[in-house]
Amino acid sequence: MNRDKERYVFESSPVLRAIVSLALPSVFGQIILVIYNMADTYFVGLTDSDEMITAVTVCMPAFMFLSAIANLFGIGGASVVSRMLGRGKLEESRMASSFAFWGCVFTAGFYSLGTFLFADVFVDLLGGTNAAIHPLAKEYLLIAVAAGGVVTATNTLLSHLIRAEGRSLQASLGIVIGGLCNIAFDPLFMFVILPRGNEVLGAALATMLSNVVTLIYYAIFILTHRRNLILSIRPGRGMFKNGIPRDVIAIGIPACLMTLCENISYAILEKLMSSYDEAALQAGIGVAKKVNMLAHSVVRGMAQGVLPLIGYNYASGNRTRMRRVVRYSAAISLIVSLFCMGAGLLFSHQLIGIFIDAGSASHGYGAAFLRILCIGAPFSAWAYTVISFFQATGHMEKSLVLALLRKGILDIPLMFVLNRFFNHYGLVSATPIADVVCCVTAAILFFVFLARHGHDKFVAKDV
């Protein structure tokens, strides 16, 4: 097995070049992921139906919960794999990837079965209680989540595991292929194949089938490169030895909870917004959240791209290189998020207008909500960088604290309080306020950690 190229990227190449080679494909893949998530909203928005737009957006938390499952095993597995590689333990790396794969498949399958059996309950909890919205949202949920859930979660998992061994381009290519397919399938199913009035069903079918295409790509890649890959999906007793399940799950829990709490937070936001019984409000916040996801996609892609690089150098003891990776990647994320914040503040009406006709009530609400949400982008960028750093280095407690602080502990109680005193605008303001508090806490934990553990400590590798 020849891994000289990957070893060079992890150990010897200039830091900025290593970041670009690992993070750029990941960032691009995350941007495509957001764009194809927006594609459903864009094409459904062409119907000029607030009910259809809301039906798609209220299902977003249920769909994104699949990412929580994938991150539990994917980020946990990627962290363990990269640190094992840093210590030269190749067989343990293979077993960790195998445990992560099967754990993700079975967990996603259980969740998808639950959404099928209790679809009406899920839709109501997500804020789809309106009689005109409920059947449309249920339709989307059954196809995109219940039928396509295992495939969707497995794709995300495989992208993490392939990236963990330094093949970021190949990992991100699968996401790009799926995204482009979804963008192509959306208008085909919504406006050509299915009769008018079935646009939500068409969007769901496009999403599911695009994920099937992505899984086919990953299957072909794994089969054709199996002799040179650390990644293994072959089950065996070794999956449960050497503390592999404990380490994968312990590191994956903060990543899972962060995504899960994001979904719970969004669901509560939708639920509280639905209490005003105005579809325009729900449509506006749904679109504003998706537009605001663009800044987060860059930060998320950067963090996921450099996670293996940080984990590898932390485990091998090259803490100087590790610190430089964090410094450069954080600076890039902050610059991009500041740019996105400026665009959101200055061009909110134009950005929302891509999805909703100008002059409508939902357009006005969406523009106002976007201006509020985008303020938190640079603060969230730094917080997410530090959370990913602690995931990469195996420090579950710190990443867990920050993950829950960012989504869950602060923003959910703030929603109820601010909603009571400042109506729906206060409700949306809870998100950037929580981002600011989490950012400050992340800075304190990070610099204290570096003072104690940021010095070089080279370790012998098992070869």
Q: What is the mean pLDDT of residues 145-155?
A: 93
Q: Among 153-162, 289-298, 447-456, where is mean pLDDT lowest?
A: 289-298
pLDDT surpasses 90 at 441: yes
Q: Which two tokens stand for residue 201?
A: 């069903």
Q: Is 166 left (phi over 0), alpha (psi -120 to 50) or beta?
A: left
Which amino acid is it at 340?
C
- Give the model confidence (pLDDT) of 83-124 as tens digits: 888 877 888 888 999 999 999 999 999 999 999 999 999 888
Residue 130 pLDDT more than 90? no
CA distance 6 to 293: 31
Residue 325 to residues 16, 388, 401, 444, Cα–Cα distance (Å)? 8, 12, 23, 19
Min mean pLDDT across 66-75, 82-91, 267-276 is at 267-276
| Domain assignment of residue 248, given as a range | 14-453
Q: Are 140 and 200 in contact (CB under 8 A)?
A: yes
pLDDT of residue 271 exceeding 80? no
Q: Is the pLDDT of residue 343 over 70?
A: yes
Cα–Cα dist 250/240, whole Å: 14
Q: For residue 45, give both structure tokens.
A: 């928005």
Q: Is residue 3 part of a domain?
A: no
Return the higher-pLDDT residue of 421 and 151. 151
Give CA–CA dist 80/376, Å, rounded: 31
CB 400 within 8 A of CB 456: no
Max alpha carbon distance in the chain (Å)? 66
Q: What percent of the chain has pLDDT over 70?
A: 97
Q: What is the mean predicted confidence (pLDDT) over 60-77?
A: 87
DSSP string covering 316-350: HT-HHHHHHHHHHHHHHHHHHHHHHHHHHHHSHHH
The whole-chain average pLDDT of the chain stands at 86
pLDDT at 375 over 90: yes
**Residue at 463 is within a domain:** no
- Location of structure tokens 């605008």: 425
Which pLDDT band, with edges at 50, 70 and 90, does 277 fall under? low
pLDDT, residue 346, reads 92
Report the pLDDT value the prediction gives residue 458, as an integer from 0 to 100.
Answer: 59
pLDDT score, position 335: 92
pLDDT at 279: 72
Q: What is the mean pLDDT of residues 406-411?
A: 84
The number of domains in the chain is 1
Distance CA 143, CA 134 (A): 15
pLDDT for the residue numbered 461: 52
Among 349, 21, 342, residue whose Cα is nearest residue 167: 21
Range with the largest mean pLDDT of 63-72, 209-218, 313-322: 209-218
Confidence band of 463 (pLDDT split at 50, 70, 90): very low
Residue 28 scores a pLDDT above 60:
yes
Q: Is residue 137 within 8 Å of 59, Cβ to Cβ?
A: yes
pLDDT of 459 strictly over 60: no
For range 151-179, the mean pLDDT: 88
- Judge whether 26 lies within some domain: yes
Tell me if 6 is assigned to some domain. no
Q: What pLDDT does 250 receive? A: 87
- The mean per-residue pLDDT over the stretch 275-280 comes to 72
In this predicted structure, the answer to whether residue 44 has a pLDDT above a threshold of 70 is yes
Q: What angle do CA 134, 136, 141 make, to 5 degrees?
A: 90
Of the listed ranges 238-247, 354-363, 372-381, the least confidently predicted one is 354-363
In a domain, 8, yes or no: no
Pair of tokens at residue 34: 């957001």
The percent of residues above 90 in pLDDT, for the chain, comes to 30
Considering the domain boundaries, does residue 1 fall inside one?
no
Torsion of CA 269, 383, 56, 67, to 10 degrees: -120
Tokens of 340: 């996105």
Asked if residue 462 has pLDDT above 70, the reply is: no
Please check whether residue 72 lies inside any domain of the structure: yes
Listed range (146-150, 326-330, 397-401) with the worst mean pLDDT: 397-401
Cα 290 off chain centre by:
12
With respect to residue 458, please indicate whether it lies within any of the assigned structural domains. Answer: no
- Tokens describing residue 6: 């990957």
pLDDT of residue 221: 92
154 confidence band (pLDDT: 50, 70, 90): very high
